[in-house]
Amino acid sequence: MRLTRDHILAALAEIDRERPPLPRSLGYDVIFRGRLYPPVQVMRIAHRLATGVDEWPLPGGAQTNKLLEAAGFTVVSKKQLALLKNQPLDSL
């Protein structure tokens, strides 16, 4: 089954609702509605919602980020965030 934007939105909603302890991302974050999310963990949950398998088979970084961006999400590097630290996340 192919992951869709709806699966990713459902994963983000689950994270917001349940607030599970998630490992912090090392190099990138997904920005959605002014909040930061670890890309691999978002995709792991989306993958579970789509397939029932609670793992994400791709590494973090370019492969995962490209899929998120193709679905319309903003992914930024930690370096970019440091440069934009005074800018509201909602504007990105």
Q: Would you say residue 91 lies in a domain?
A: no
Residue 92 within any structural domain of the chain: no
Q: Which domain holds residue 15?
A: 5-86
Distance from the first to the final alpha carbon of the chain: 30
Residues 6+ apart with CB under 8 A from 2: 50
Answer yes or no: is 25 within a domain. yes
Model confidence at 84, pLDDT cuts 50, 70, 90, reads: confident
Q: What is the total count of domains within the chain?
A: 1
The pLDDT tens digits for 10-46 are: 999 999 999 999 999 999 999 999 999 999 999 999 9
